[in-house]
Chains A and B, each alone.
Chain A
Amino acid sequence: MNELINELKLKLIEALNLEGMTPDDIPNDAPLFGEGGLGLDSIDVLELIVLLEKNYGIRLATPQEGKNVFKSVAVMADYVAANRTK
């Protein structure tokens, strides 16, 4: 799981242009949105939906579903591990 978490962090940094950040700057359980998180916005949610489909073959039905999946990198990793098709 740690390997997947690190992989997701690298893909997040690349997909969201988080310039200057490294995987170590993103705590596994830190919220991705809102206060104390990475400060991502609604467009970032859409990019994350694309990221899941492109890299793991996971299609989220609605952005609302993403709210549960994108709570933190650790939650994302659990979801990817359970639902990936590639």
Chain B
Amino acid sequence: MKEAVIPAGTNLSALYRSLGADYPKFFKMDTLSKLGFLLAEMLVGEEDGRFGQREDRAVLVFSREGCIADDLHYAQSMKDFPSPALFVYTLPNIVAGEIAIRNKFAGETGAYVIDGFDGELIRELSSLAFQDKTTREILVAWIDCPSDSSWNAKAWLCNEAQINEIKAFTI
């Protein structure tokens, strides 16, 4: 199973450039979505047939803090001129959408805010995505980003046979 991790404090712009991604919208994203974008690049960026439509791939993102950092930034901006670009990211599921749009993953997209990393719960929820008979692989990510400088970001690309390994995942 392929795994990607971005240690806290990593220079995300430098990582973006090192991966050779050409996607200027990256710089407009919040930190949560940048982390999701980069984790996906690390997992599938060098695949053959990149950017072909993938009906068989789903994206599920899990976190504890959701988009709290953006919520706080946006609340701050409301004291002056609220930022429309910031408002876009005040939903925790946007990161799953960004990953799906970039990679043309047309399967289920989902974002779950849970009490903390729980491998069994993540395995259980992820396994449901395979019930649609179309999904063959899921990009599962744990991206917890309470601030723009502190995060825990890890992702896996797994098929149905590998899904049971998730409960053994650690972060």
Q: Which residues of A contact B (CB under 8 A)?
A: 16-19, 39, 43-44, 46-47, 50, 53-54
Contact = CB atoms under 8 A, between A and B. Distances in A.
Interface of B: 13, 24, 27-28, 80-85, 88
Contacts of B85: 16-17, 43-44, 46-47
B24 A50 contact: no
Contacts of B84: 43, 46-47, 50
Contacts of A44: 85
Contacts of A19: 13, 24, 27
Nearest to B29: A17
A43 B24 CA distance: 15
B101 to A, nearest CB: 12
Contacts of B88: 43
Contacts of B83: 47, 50
A19 B84 CA distance: 18
**Most chain-A Cβ atoms within 10 A of its Cβ — which of B13, B80, B83, B88?**
B83
The 6 tightest CB contacts between A and B, nearest first, are A46-B84, A19-B27, A17-B27, A54-B81, A17-B28, A50-B81
A58 B141 CA distance: 43
A68 B72 CA distance: 34
A50 B83 CA distance: 8
Contacts of A17: 27-28, 85
A19 B80 CA distance: 24
A63 B80 CA distance: 20
B168 to A, nearest CB: 38
**Most chain-A Cβ atoms within 10 A of its Cβ — which of B13, B28, B80, B82?**
B28
A18 B27 contact: yes
Contacts of B28: 16-17
A47 B28 CA distance: 12
27 contacts: A16-B28, A16-B85, A17-B27, A17-B28, A17-B85, A18-B24, A18-B27, A19-B13, A19-B24, A19-B27, A39-B24, A43-B84, A43-B85, A43-B88, A44-B85, A46-B84, A46-B85, A47-B83, A47-B84, A47-B85, A50-B81, A50-B82, A50-B83, A50-B84, A53-B81, A54-B80, A54-B81
Nearest to A51: B81
